[in-house]
């Protein structure tokens, strides 16, 4: 990828195109991590709806231990989102070029930790599995908050239910039969085709990432997280390098 393109994706000055393209990369990563994580610990970690429902079921049936595991996963997702907000606001206050790159760099490092942790998951399964679930939930919360803040809540990369719902709404508008625009212009229904394309791309890339992540994990195991970490590191590299150069220049 050209350096100027990478720099634009994580620049402080945002454009709608940069937001969309960054979201495409992150949706693919989210799908891959979610699918690979399921093969590792038999639990999806990107959607809190399922975790909350599971918590309710286990609490009602007396499964306190499973309820507490779900609560820990939920709290770590929230903690990941909060950490992303802290890093972005810190970068903004400090006027860093890496305002949006810092959470990506942290996510890249955590994915490497996931790969290292996974190597011992069978040996210390009683500890490694819950720790892996919490780590993946933290990563998903961290990533979802990055694009949510960048796009001002217009785009998300792990919340597929909302995206599919919006696709359905836009399709309903697209196929709605308007009797006459002149007769009732106020109620003329028009689909947002650009939004429909973006949402379809995000869902498609999440799915493609899931297929790629599952196949990669099945064949290569936990080392399959390394390319994802490298991709995120590349996205964050340019602004972080600029900040480091500025720091050494003034010290």
Instruction: Determine the Cα–Cα distance for residues 23 and 9; give it in Å rounded to an integer.
Output: 9
Query: What pLDDT does residue 106 have?
Result: 95
Chain center to CA of 104: 10
Nearest Cα to Cα of residue 208 among 76, 57, 32: 32
Which range, 2-16, 85-99, 235-249, has the best average confidence (pLDDT)? Answer: 85-99
Region 219-244: what's the mean pLDDT? 89
Which is more confidently placed, 251 or 145? Answer: 145
Quickly state the pLDDT bin for 251 (edges 50, 70, 90).
Answer: low
Sort 185 into a burial class: Cβ within 10 Å, 0-12 / 13-18 / 19+: exposed
Quickly state the pLDDT bin for 204 (edges 50, 70, 90).
Answer: very high
**Taking the chain, what is the end-to-end CA distance rounded to the nearest angstrom?**
32
Nearest Cα to Cα of residue 143 among 209, 216, 215: 209
pLDDT digit string, tens, across residues 155-179 = 777 778 888 999 999 999 888 887 6
pLDDT above 80 (res 246): no
Token pair recorded at residue 248: 């050494």
Nearest Cα to Cα of residue 135 among 36, 26, 238: 36
Query: What pLDDT does residue 162 have?
Result: 84
Token pair recorded at residue 191: 């689909």
Which is more confidently placed, 248 or 214? Answer: 214
Which is more confidently placed, 49 or 145? Answer: 145
Segment among 74-78, 84-88, 145-149, 204-208 with least mean pLDDT: 145-149
Query: What pLDDT does residue 160 have?
Result: 84
Which is more confidently placed, 114 or 100? Answer: 100
Query: What pLDDT does residue 121 have?
Result: 60
pLDDT digit string, tens, across residues 48-82 = 888 888 899 999 999 898 899 889 989 999 999 99
């Amino acid at each position: 990828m050209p350096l100027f393109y990478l720099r634009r994706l994580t620049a402080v000055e945002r454009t709608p195109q940069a937001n969309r393209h960054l979201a495409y990369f992150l949706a693919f990563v989210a799908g891959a991590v979610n699918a690979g994580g399921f093969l590792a610990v038999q639990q999806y970690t990107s959607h809190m709806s399922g975790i909350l429902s599971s918590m309710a079921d286990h609490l009602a049936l007396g499964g306190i231990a499973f309820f507490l595991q779900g609560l820990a996963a939920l709290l770590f997702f929230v903690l990941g989102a909060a950490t992303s907000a802290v890093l972005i606001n810190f970068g903004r206050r400090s006027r860093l070029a890496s305002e949006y790159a810092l959470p990506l760099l942290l996510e890249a490092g955590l994915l490497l930790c996931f790969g290292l942790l996974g190597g011992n998951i069978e040996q210390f399964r009683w500890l490694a599995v819950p720790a892996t679930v919490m780590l993946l939930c933290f990563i998903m919360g961290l990533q979802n908050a990055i694009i949510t803040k960048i796009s001002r809540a217009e785009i998300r990369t792990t919340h597929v239910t909302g995206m599919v719902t919006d696709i359905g709404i836009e399709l309903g508008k697209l196929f709605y039969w308007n009797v006459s625009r002149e007769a009732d212009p106020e109620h003329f229904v028009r689909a947002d085709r650009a939004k429909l394309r973006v949402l379809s791309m995000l869902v498609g890339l999440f799915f493609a990432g899931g297929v790629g992540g599952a196949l990669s994990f099945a064949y290569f195991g936990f080392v399959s997280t390394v390319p994802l970490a490298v991709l995120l590191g590349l996205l964050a590299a340019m602004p972080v390098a600029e900040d480091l150069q500025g720091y050494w220049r003034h010290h």
